[in-house]
Copies of this chain bind each other. A is one copy, B any other.
Amino acid sequence: MPQNTQWLLNSRPQAEASVDNFKLVHTDTPPLQDGQVLVRHHFLSLDPYMRGRMNEGKSYTAAQALGEAMIGGTVGEVVESRSPRFAVGDTVVGMGGWQLFSVVDAEQPGALRRVDTTHIPLSHYLGAVGMPGVTAWHGLVRIIEPKAGETVVVSAASGAVGSALGVLAKQRGCRVVGIAGGPDKCAYVKNELGFDDCVDYRGHANAHSLSKALKAACPQGIDGYFENVGGMVLDAVMLRMNAFGRMAVCGMIAGYDGQPMPLAHPALILVQRLKVQGFIVSEHMQDWPLALKELGQLVGSGAFRPRETMAQGLESAPEAFLGLLKGKNFGKQLVKLG
């Protein structure tokens, strides 16, 4: 059996996560049972939700167990199969974790999905044509429910979710405004992704100042907001929401480290009759086929060219992940495993 390398969760962060929370180990891959396949991972996905899993207790779902390989989406190829459903050489997407190989019960529904790389590069199945893309699709289509001509805003606009959100909202005839950190990201959001405008939150010391910039970028106010970050950005957007506005709450990176992160003006939920709704995309599997079809067409046709930040080698995963939490990535953060 091939030698595996894994990143285990070694300890839970007290506040900010650090490389010390992870531990690299080398193990043997176990022999396959009937119905199992061995997948060699080519790319590992790094996503903000992983920070929530590192905490103990209530977060999205169950906490990541200590001493086990970190959870994570992967794409790769089947290198050994004892399942009639997958053949050696199949390219597949799954939740293989922070490791070079995974043994998967191929009979379990949804555990592995075969993907076609004719028109879509394999890595994009972890981004625009994968979980982050479907996250954007669900929040936009099921919660924001945009009408043509409405203004939709998304934070972390250059990221995997934000970029897909913007492209999908433009397809629906919306004015789309991003919020991102730094002039390079804002230029990418406007010039390459085709957003109507982008506000650089780094130029603003507080929500009031950022809110003024949003007013200029959204002269008709904001009808839909896709929330990726929380904190000051959320406060600023809330001050510009129109009556009957919808907010899809997907990420609040600013609060993962456990610091208090109050919402300054909840009374606006009443005054503007807003709907604010949280969701986790894995609880809406019925949306995946439709979402992946639209996203696959957008990427396959070249209408949507997602950007990726590629860390090299499994060893680099913790550092790349910590960078992602600080917004150092540009587009989808991946680790190339070889």
Q: Is the CB of A273 within 8 A of B266?
A: no
Q: Is the CB of B273 within 8 A of A283?
A: yes
Residues of B within 8 A of A263 (CB): 262-263, 266
Q: Which of B59, B262, B274 has a CB less than 8 Å from the CB of A266?
A: B262
Q: A260-B264, A262-B264 are in contact. Are A271 and B59 (CB under 8 A)?
A: yes
Q: Which of A95-103, A244-252, A289-297, A324-332 contacts B (4 or more CB under 8 A)?
A: A244-252
Q: Which of B59, B262, B270, B280 has a CB less than 8 Å from the CB of A252?
A: B270
A270 CB to nearest B CB, Å: 4
Q: Is the CB of A277 within 8 A of B276?
A: yes
A52 to B268 CA separation, bound complex (whole angstroms): 12
Q: Is the CB of A277 within 8 A of B274?
A: yes
- Nearest residue (CB) in B for A266 is B263
A275 at the B interface (CB under 8 A): yes
A255 at the B interface (CB under 8 A): yes
A121 at the B interface (CB under 8 A): no
Q: A262-B262, A263-B262 are in contact. Are A249 and B277 (CB under 8 A)?
A: no
A111 at the B interface (CB under 8 A): no
Q: Which of B251, B265, B272, B277 has a CB less than 8 Å from the CB of A278?
A: B272
Q: A260-B264, A262-B264 are in contact. Are A276 and B269 (CB under 8 A)?
A: yes
Q: Which of B52, B59, B249, B270 has a CB less than 8 Å from the CB of A249?
A: B270
A267 at the B interface (CB under 8 A): yes
Q: Which of B250, B267, B272, B278 has a CB less than 8 Å from the CB of A274?
A: B278
Interface residues of A in 31-79 (CB under 8 A from B): 52, 58-60
A230 at the B interface (CB under 8 A): yes
A255 to B267 CA separation, bound complex (whole angstroms): 7
Q: Is the CB of A273 within 8 A of B280?
A: yes
Task: Give the oligomeric copy count.
Answer: 2
Q: Which of B255, B276, B280 has a CB less than 8 Å from the CB of A276?
A: B276
Per DSSP, chain A at the interface is loop
Residues of B within 8 A of A262 (CB): 262-266
Residues of B within 8 A of A250 (CB): 270
Residues of B within 8 A of A59 (CB): 271
A288 at the B interface (CB under 8 A): no
- Nearest residue (CB) in B for A256 is B267
Residues of B within 8 A of A168 (CB): none
A52 to B279 CA separation, bound complex (whole angstroms): 32
A22 to B192 CA separation, bound complex (whole angstroms): 58
A133 CB to nearest B CB, Å: 19
A261 at the B interface (CB under 8 A): yes
A residues within 8 Å of B by Cβ?
52, 58-60, 230, 234, 249-252, 255, 260-267, 269-280, 283
The 6 closest A-B pairs by CB, nearest first: A262-B262, A263-B266, A270-B278, A263-B263, A269-B278, A276-B276
A-B contact pairs, 10 of them (CB 8 A): A60-B271, A230-B267, A249-B270, A262-B262, A269-B277, A270-B278, A273-B278, A274-B276, A274-B277, A276-B276
